[in-house]
Chain A
Amino acid sequence: MSGPDLEVRDLVAGYVPDIDILRGVSIAVHPGEIVTVLGPNGAGKSTMIKAIAGLVPIRSGSILHHGRDITGRATHTLVGTGLAYVPQVDNVFLRMSVAENLELGGFAAPAEAARRFDQIMILFPDLARLRHLAAGKLSGGQRQMVAVGRALMAGPKVLMLDEPSAGLSPKLVEIVFAKLLEIRGSGISILMVEQNAKAALAISDRGYVLAEGQERFAGPAAALLASPEVGALYLGAGSRLAS
């Protein structure tokens, strides 16, 4: 299969009727790519990823996953098709243990659960030590690892992350992003939405800049990093992203 892993075409969507947050956005994620979506607050970045995950009513446009139309499918059925999503907040079950969080993620693919559990313990060695602790007792960075681990348990082809660096120290951001590179190395494509443009583009292949519910710029990550227009749109007039 040579087509994109995930393709969003002219998507129009919004939480309440008559107010469109997304106004015809189109993006694509090709196999093995890390794609970052940037944009100012309110541009619709999170809304787009939630719409793909089936959490926002879609008015028009389509979402294709491996060429299959998944527009409007029930959220809980998407995991089984190979599309996993890590929300920005409330992304772990706080009252359940680390092991239980991962186990729940594996319900979508029970046959592979034990093997994947071991793989995730290797990917995130910290979690092995903490596996019996309630996720609510963990630090922000550890929680993010549980959240990503839970998503990986289903054996996705595409991993979607909503601001994986939010609330983390620069040191932890570095660690989390290094893990994302490792995950991509195992053949999983990644689509993430980020505020932390510089760090995210540094590990990405391509990027999109969203504004007012549409993609305004698209291109290789390095080109976006160097572009003065992107810097202006993203960080406010006059400032340069790559400074």
Chain B
Amino acid sequence: MMQVIVDGLVSASYVSLGVVGLSLIYNILNFANFAQGDYLTVGGYIALIFVILFGTAGAIAGLTFGWPLIVAAFGAVLLTGLVAELLDRSIYGRLRRRGSSRITLIMASFGVALMLRNIVVIFFGPEPIYYAFAIQPALRLWGIRITPNEIVVVAVTAALVVCLHLFLTRTRLGKSMRAVSESPSLARVTGINVDVVIRWTWLIGSGLAAIGGVLFGIALGLQPNFGFELLLPMFAALIVGGVTNIYGAILGAVLIGLAESLTVQYFAPEYRQAVSFVAVILVLLVRPQGLVGERP
């Protein structure tokens, strides 16, 4: 049972880091960004470019990577943020100013998702790629199998979630972001420059997604589709937790991760993808506002 929980937390990590951006952008711009999953892919592959440039020398004890990948992760955050920002300016921002409908924006983000994924395929091909070709034996801790890389995945995610919480509750920008996500018009009246907040929201949401992508690459390797395949659990996490609440979305990610690993363990791995759908249907039937969301 402990094994199921640990496995669930590992897969919840990537989803959590992705869903933060999805939730922030959804609340601030009223826009469900279907390209959010591909920001993980972009982040993972940008880190790969750094790894190719710097090599994988100097692996830290027990891990399959060393400082070059840590540098690569920072690079991935900055460049993925830049990509997200450019996409918002060149595509989504224009559509918003033109007063386009929500469906138009969603379709545009579908297009962006396809474009990003195929750019990755052009440069890196459709085959799986790894940061390092090293086999890592799993550790046994209190009877639980876990690789050192997976410990890094969960620890980094937990640390980032704590940082995000401190950012949102203690800093001026974080509070402004919460204010804008609750009511952009009242935020304007209060003197908050909503456009600046939107820019930061893209940077933070896509930056966390990029780290999620790098962590995915560390634990499982990269493939052009992996981010897109995380999109469904991300939306499920958002709906299960409550669309209006970012902590709810992270809780949702953990629950979806646990449900997936339970399914894989006790039913059949093929049903993994179905878990998200079942969770969404159940929540929409029983508690449509999500577990911690408020009724509108």
Q: Which residues from chain A sit less than 8 Å from chain B, CB to CB? A: 53-55, 74-80, 85, 87, 90-96, 100, 103-105, 107-108, 136, 150, 154
Q: A104-B176, A107-B176 are known contacts. Are A75 and B182 too (CB-CB below 8 A)? A: no
8 Å CB interface, B191-239 against A: 191-194
Residues in B neighbouring A74, C-beta threshold 8 A: 188
Residues in A neighbouring B193, C-beta threshold 8 A: 76
B interface size (C-beta, 8 A): 20
Residues in B neighbouring A79, C-beta threshold 8 A: 189-191
Is the Cβ of A80 less than 8 Å from the Cβ of B191?
yes
Is the Cβ of B186 less than 8 Å from the Cβ of A154?
no
Is the Cβ of B183 less than 8 Å from the Cβ of A93?
yes
A124 to chain B, nearest CB (A): 18
B105 to chain A, nearest CB (A): 22
Which of A77, A92, A104, A150 is close to B175, meaning CB atoms less than 8 Å apart? Answer: A104
Consensus secondary structure, chain B interface: helix
Is the Cβ of B189 less than 8 Å from the Cβ of A154?
no
Check if B104 is an interface residue, CB within 8 A of chain A. no
Is the Cβ of B191 less than 8 Å from the Cβ of A93?
no
Which of A77, A80, A85, A93 is close to B182, meaning CB atoms less than 8 Å apart? Answer: A93
Which of A76, A93, A105 is close to B188, meaning CB atoms less than 8 Å apart? Answer: A76
Residues in A neighbouring B191, C-beta threshold 8 A: 76-80, 105, 107-108, 154
Is the Cβ of A104 less than 8 Å from the Cβ of B192?
yes
A156 to chain B, nearest CB (A): 10
Is the Cβ of B186 less than 8 Å from the Cβ of A100?
no
| Nearest B-chain residue to A110, judged by Cβ | B172
Check if B100 is an interface residue, CB within 8 A of chain A. no
A194 to chain B, nearest CB (A): 19
Residues in A neighbouring B194, C-beta threshold 8 A: 76
Is the Cβ of A87 less than 8 Å from the Cβ of B189?
yes
Is the Cβ of B178 less than 8 Å from the Cβ of A96?
yes
B27 to chain A, nearest CB (A): 10
| Nearest A-chain residue to B196, judged by Cβ | A76
A74 to B172 Cα, complex, angstroms: 21
Is the Cβ of B189 less than 8 Å from the Cβ of A104?
no
Is the Cβ of A104 less than 8 Å from the Cβ of B179?
yes
Is the Cβ of A95 less than 8 Å from the Cβ of B192?
no
| Nearest A-chain residue to B190, judged by Cβ | A104
Check if B273 is an interface residue, CB within 8 A of chain A. no
A55 to B182 Cα, complex, angstroms: 18
| Nearest B-chain residue to A53, judged by Cβ | B189
Residues in A neighbouring B175, C-beta threshold 8 A: 96, 100, 103-104
CB-CB nearest 10 A-B residue pairs: A79-B191, A108-B191, A75-B188, A76-B188, A93-B182, A76-B193, A104-B190, A76-B191, A85-B189, A104-B179
A75 to B191 Cα, complex, angstroms: 7
A85 to B21 Cα, complex, angstroms: 31
A90 to B294 Cα, complex, angstroms: 16
